Amino acid sequence: MKELHVIDSHTGGEPTRIVVSGGPYLGGGTVAEKLAVFRSAHDRFRSAVVNEPRGSDVLVGAILVEPSDRSCAAGVIFFNNVGYLGMCGHGTIGLIATLQYMVKIRPGEHRIETPVGIVTATLHEDGSASVKNVPSYRKKKGVTIELRGIGAVTGDVAWGGNWFFLVENHSWAIELGNVDQLTEVTWRIRQAVNAQGYPEVDHIELFGPPKVKRAKGADSRNFVLCPGKAYDRSPCGTGTSAKLACLYDDGKLRPGQVWRQESITGSVFEGTVEASGGHIIPTIRGRAYVNAEAKLIFDPADPCCWGISAS
């Protein structure tokens, strides 16, 4: 019977389950090459780790791999209920908390190899982590789609390590009690955006006024629909990176100025940008907590051994 050792954490309410040992051998290439091997030869492990009955649609999974770049502390591949993520901001903050829990890192800077490039994460003395993400940019401003029964919806297409469609002007309330409506409408937005020539977009982000009235406050509140139709409980690190790219392009955020992005659950990420040619380099800061450590057991006699999935 096969066994995998996993460590669970959550970052601003969004869970991450990291396979720290026992995973399949993915070859000796770069993390992008290892992802290609994982996807083509071992995809059932992805489903087994995150899907029911061991997981749920909300869970983001990750597998720790050997980095090809020796300057990196770790390599990581992120995945979810339907596939793979290029980068994952909340997951990287979760990874840093997990590596600290495993006593593999101490406060300071750590380079992490992902399939879409190397990111630098800093573990701070207070337990929070900052992730200097991959270069992010807005691809297209002001794309309008038509939704039957709703009308025109306008947003921006931007990259922050994953592809997003970001909508600022709308009338939906970003409230936990409204998640079913938000999920339905963002799912429809995604299909319309994909059909309009942006098939790469697989995350939809709605923005509204902030709710958190803490000392530091927040600048904005969001709802983020992930590719497998679950919503992000955190403000979404890659989604906040895409937002920062749009704000910077619009002249609404200066390098070094802090943007506080609140999630629909009330958790907050802080973001700043550095300008870099036509792109920005975003840094996202948040806090993760390790909340479980377990052995996943793969019994070949179990009909649900590889997870329940639609595909």
- Among candidate residues 72, 226, 236, 246, the one labeled active-site is 236
Nearest approach, Cβ of residue 79 and ligand PYC (Å): 10
Nearest approach, Cβ of residue 94 and ligand PYC (Å): 9
Kindly write out the interface string for residues 1-40 of this chain, putting x where it contacts ligand PYC by CB under 6 A and - elsewhere.
-------------x--------------------------
Nearest approach, Cβ of residue 166 and ligand PYC (Å): 14
Place of tokens 């070949």: 300
Nearest approach, Cβ of residue 57 and ligand PYC (Å): 12
Within residues 60-99, the interface with ligand PYC by CB under 6 A covers 60, 85, 88-90
Q: Is 306 exposed, middle or buried (0-12, 13-18, 19+ CB in 10 A)?
A: middle
Place of tokens 């509140």: 221
HSE on the CB side for 44, CA within 13 Å?
A: 7
Give yes or no for residue 245 binding ligand PYC (CB under 6 A): no
Beta partners for 131? Answer: 121, 284
Which secondary-structure segment (H or E) carries 221? strand 220-225
Within residues 267-306, the interface with ligand PYC by CB under 6 A covers none
Which secondary-structure segment (H or E) carries 113? strand 108-114
88 is an active site residue: yes
Single out the segment in contact with ligand PYC by CB under 6 A; choices: 26-34, 117-125, 176-184, 234-242: 234-242
If one counts every other C-beta atom within 10 angstroms of the C-beta of residue 290, the result is 17
Considering CB under 6 A, how many residues would be counted as binding ligand PYC? Answer: 13
Give yes or no for residue 218 binding ligand PYC (CB under 6 A): no
CB closer to ligand PYC out of 154 and 291:
291
Nearest approach, Cβ of residue 265 and ligand PYC (Å): 13
305 is an active site residue: no
**Alpha-carbon distance values, 195 to 139, 144, 204 (Å):** 17, 12, 14
Give yes or no for residue 236 binding ligand PYC (CB under 6 A): yes
Beta partners for 113? Answer: 75, 118
Q: Please state the three-class secondary structure of 275-303 as a single string.
A: EECCEEEEEEEEEEEEEEEEEEEECCCCC
Single out the segment in contact with ligand PYC by CB under 6 A; choices: 49-57, 104-112, 173-181, 235-243: 235-243
CB closer to ligand PYC out of 88 and 145:
88
Among 232, 261, 262, 288, binds ligand PYC (CB under 6 A): 232
Question: Which amino acid would we find at residue 89?
Answer: G
Distance between start and end Cα atoms, the chain: 25
Nearest approach, Cβ of residue 226 and ligand PYC (Å): 5
- What span, in angstroms and rounded, lies between the C-alpha atoms of 241 and 292? 28
Within residues 152-171, the interface with ligand PYC by CB under 6 A covers 162
CB closer to ligand PYC out of 11 and 47:
11
- What span, in angstroms and rounded, lies between the C-alpha atoms of 265 and 234? 7
- Among candidate residues 72, 88, 226, 246, the one labeled active-site is 88
Pairing state between β 74-79 and 268-276: unpaired
Give yes or no for residue 204 binding ligand PYC (CB under 6 A): no
Pairing state between β 203-208 and 163-167: parallel
- Which of the residues are catalytic? 88, 236
The binding site for ligand PYC (CB under 6 A) comprises 14, 60, 85, 88-90, 162, 226, 232, 234, 236-238
